[in-house]
Structure 1
Amino acid sequence: ANLFQHGNYLKKFTADNKLDLTSLGQTPTLGLGIYSKKYKSIKDIKDGSTVSIANDGSNLARSLGVLQQQGLVKLKGEVDATKATVDDIAFNPKNLKIKTIDAAQLARSLDTVDVALVPGNYSWAAKLDPSSALALEKQDDGVIEVFVVRTQDVDSDFGKAVKKLLVSQKFKDAIAKSEFKDFGKPTTW
């Protein structure tokens, strides 16, 4: 079993690697955040600022989507938002310099760039406070993390127990009283 990927990543990774994996359900998820040591708000971001984003396909597209949510870029109209690349930017009104790097390095890049878009798991590990983010992504179903097992284990005792737990009131109550209370919630809640 694993719990580290959002639904969009699971779809792409299993297809690319021909794996037989299945989600048992979603879990609370810290969204991707826009962080800066230089700026205090999105509107403060200056023309020509350097912005670091993840270089892996799934998080790169997601980062571009968050930049678009904040009006910092506009993607080409017909592009698949889960597969977008820097080449799909149609409009960049602030002439942002987009720098793609390994997602694990994004929090560290805050010392050398003006703005970094950091996926939740990496921001949490780096102890970045989500409340200090200039903005957090508006999460959709595809970016909520999923609890995953081999497809052959879905109907095992373990698989059934996990499925039941993920939608239980006891789990929801525990999350509501924990440090994870402000994470994005599963769509089944």
Structure 2
Amino acid sequence: MKKWLTTIAASSALVVGLTACGTGGDGNGASGEDKKIIVGASNVPHAEILEEAQPLLEEKGIEMEIKPFQDYIFPNKALADGEIDANYFQHVPYLEAQMKENNYDFVNAGGIHIEPIGVYSSKHKSLEDLPEGGTVIMSNSVADHGRILSMLEEKGVIKLKEGVDKTKATVDDIAENPKNLNFKADVEAGLLPQAYQNNEGDAILINANYALDADLDPAKDPIAVESAEDNPYVNVIATRKGDEEREEIKALVEVLNSKEIQEFIKEEYKGAVLPASK
């Protein structure tokens, strides 16, 4: 009897061992941790785009869990802490600034879309109508300041100093300000739509994702919109260095740049969000 039980135990251990070997392997199996990824994202449009991509990833045998975030800080902290495998919420200059500031060892795994930033005003119908000494409200995210100021320069509202890196420009880099506009840069990006709806300031610069989340129409409501041509502010999939070579991350970027997802972005957001791929 003792010998028989020993044989059964040994056989069971062998079966368990073979089963364990079968769930890992080269990543071509049907299941296992290697075939699931957790991606952090802003609610709109990032999480919506990821939801559209889920069935396409499932066809490749990859399960994706989407973890929503409401701000710009915690998605990178979660990625650094290993709570998520990638995030999708930020553009390249912001990613680079966060990596430098926090010593994050991240990489840009691929660009997905562009959200042209808009100028909103409940008081004026054009930038030309902005009054002398008017107030311009923008995000407290320093990484967005260069983008906003570059846009205002492009529209002829201000002029920046010669030779300044426009992606890193600050209010101190303004060389000409004909209307003596006052720039208020102490509002969290997610609260900018509320400031607009409360009729604050003369002009408010709002990122398209927050505008969409507040039921604004970034294609119609702004009095001016940032040009998408040669725009460096591409929203990307960010991951920890080395993980960009993972099959799951490569598949995610491939799917998000597929014709199906590009068409979804164009049709769903009608110019408020533009696919980065052409």
TM value normalised by structure 1: 0.91
Q: CA deviation at 1:52?
A: 0.5
Query: 1:170 matched to which residue of 2?
Result: 260
CA distance in 1, matches of 2:207, 2:266: 22
Unaligned runs of 5+ in 1: none
Residue identity opposite 1:123 in structure 2: A
CA distance in 2: counterparts of 1:182 and 1:33, whole angstroms: 9
State the superposition RMSD in angstroms. 1.7
Partner of 1:79: 164
Please tell me whether residue 117 in structure 1 is matched to residue 117 in structure 2.
no
The answer to whether the 8 A contact 2:265-2:274 is kept is no
Runs of 4+ more than 6 Å apart: none
Match of 2:103 in 1: 18
Per the TM alignment, residue 133 of structure 1 is displaced from its structure 2 partner at its CA by 0.4
Does residue 105 (structure 1) correspond to residue 191 (structure 2)? The answer is yes
Query: Does the alignment pair 1:28 with 2:113?
Result: yes
Which residue of structure 2 aligns with residue 7 of structure 1?
92
Task: Point out where structure 2 has 5 or more consecutive residues left out of the alignment.
Answer: 1-85
AA at the equivalent of 2:206: V
Residue 226 of structure 2, aligned match among 124, 131, 137: 137
Give the drift of 1:98.
Answer: 1.0
Query: Partner of 2:242 in structure 1?
Result: 152
Query: Partner of 2:180: helix, strand, or coil?
Result: coil
1:185 aligns with 2:270: no
Which whole-Å CA distance do the structure 1 matches of 2:120 and 2:126 have between them? 9
Higher relative contact order (CA 8 A, sep 6+): 1
Is the 1:24–1:149 Cα contact (8 Å) retained in structure 2? yes
Aligned counterparts of 1:84 and 1:125: Cα–Cα separation in 2: 27
Residue type of the alignment partner of 1:136: V
Map residues 33-48 of structure 1 onto 2, 5 A cutoff: 33-48=118-133
Question: TM-score, normalised on structure 2?
Answer: 0.63
Alignment: residue pair count = 188
Structure with bigger gyration radius: 2
Query: Counterpart amino acid of 1:21?
Result: F
Aligned-partner Cα distance in 1 for 2:267–2:177: 41
Please report how far the alpha carbon of residue 73 of structure 1 lies from its aligned counterpart in structure 2 after TM superposition: 0.7
Q: CA deviation at 1:2?
A: 0.7
In the alignment, is the contact (CA less than 8 A) between 2:112 and 2:253 conserved in 1?
Answer: no
Q: Supply the AA of the counterpart residue of 2:227.
A: K
> Which whole-Å CA distance do the structure 1 matches of 2:210 and 2:235 have between them?
13
- Distance 1:176-1:98 versus aligned 2 partners, 3 A rule: closer
Opposite residue 116 of structure 1, the aligned amino acid is I
* Among 174, 189, 193, the residue aligned to 1:89: 174
